[in-house]
Structure 1
């Protein structure tokens, strides 16, 4: 891992890099929580039960720790150096920008350059420039659109699918390094909890003020 990259510090295997581990607070004003502290270590001696305020404070701290984790992963995912590192480890002959296009094409099965420009909010010249390496290395193929033969559709080739699988393997390896020391049961429990969180994020609605709210049940 390149420790000179601010977005690559603070995590094993390059997965959780993104935030300085010694900072006192993040950009959104959520204080970092010392995850090494034992739960309840700040309770008064002789106190056997948490008061309502203690429980609320603990909940806030839990949310702050989860927020920190999400930020670390998000910043690592957006780090150009992180993408280049993963591509280098996977033996991929393209840049992170081209990898992003390949992922979007594969996610949708096929796409036009106009689709990519719209999805990623890029201009056509940028898309064309980033597509060029994918075509040069035969990672995508072109075919005429079924409804308008003047339009070319792009689809991943076998080489393109293999490259994406190789990059994914690097990512899985990174996660394995980060979870070194976890038991199989702990890994399974973590996966289940993260999947519940993922579904909750997908189901959440946004109110008129821009704040997320749980979906109507």
Structure 2
């Protein structure tokens, strides 16, 4: 293998982000903002701290991003009834149509990236990458337990 798998995966992810960002330039939504919106759809009412950990950005970076998404009318902060210092994040009604459009964009990018692969090869590729992710995820969990 001429390149290490880690380099190939990282470089491919970078190229995915660049292709996605180019297609969503007019919407003003970046790939990272799309990830934030997607996680908020999966975990409505999540606090900023755990969300920052999920997307692996500094809390201040996420806070600024949430500010921009709130200004765009896509996200709202609601007071946490159990902790008056904390905010719970929720998508607004305006976010769902945008998420649908962004999913279509992502599907188009994946189609472009996997051009020339048949359905079986695409499924195999997804399964293999999922196994790599699961392996790394298990190691991350083990490492966290060891340091706790």
Q: Per the shorter chain, which TM-score range?
A: 0.5 to 0.7
Match of 1:159 among 80, 83, 94: 94
Task: Classify the secondary structure of the residue corresponding to 2:90.
Answer: strand
What TM-score comes out, normalization by structure 2 length?
0.67
Structure whose alpha-carbon radius of gyration is higher? 1
The superposition leaves residues 147-199 of structure 1 with CA deviations (integer Å, 9 ceiling, x where unpaired) of 13464322112322332332232222112112222222222222222222222
What TM-score comes out, normalization by structure 1 length?
0.49
List gaps (5 residues or longer) in structure 1. Answer: 1-31, 34-63, 209-217
Alignment coverage as a number of residue pairs = 141
The reply to whether residue 203 of structure 1 matches residue 138 of structure 2 is yes
Q: 1:85–1:200: structure 2 CA closer, same or farther, 3 Å change rule?
A: same
Distance (whole Å) between structure 1 residues aligned to residue 77 and residue 105 of structure 2: 28
Task: Classify the secondary structure of the residue corresponding to 1:158.
Answer: coil
Match of 1:108 among 25, 43, 46: 43
Q: CA RMSD in A?
A: 3.4
Deviation of 1:85 after TM superposition, in Å, equals: 1.6
List gaps (5 residues or longer) in structure 2. Answer: 144-148
Which residue in 2 is equivalent to 1:178?
Answer: 113
Match of 1:84 among 21, 30, 43: 21
The reply to whether residue 120 of structure 1 matches residue 57 of structure 2 is yes
Q: 1:187–1:159: structure 2 CA closer, same or farther, 3 Å change rule?
A: same
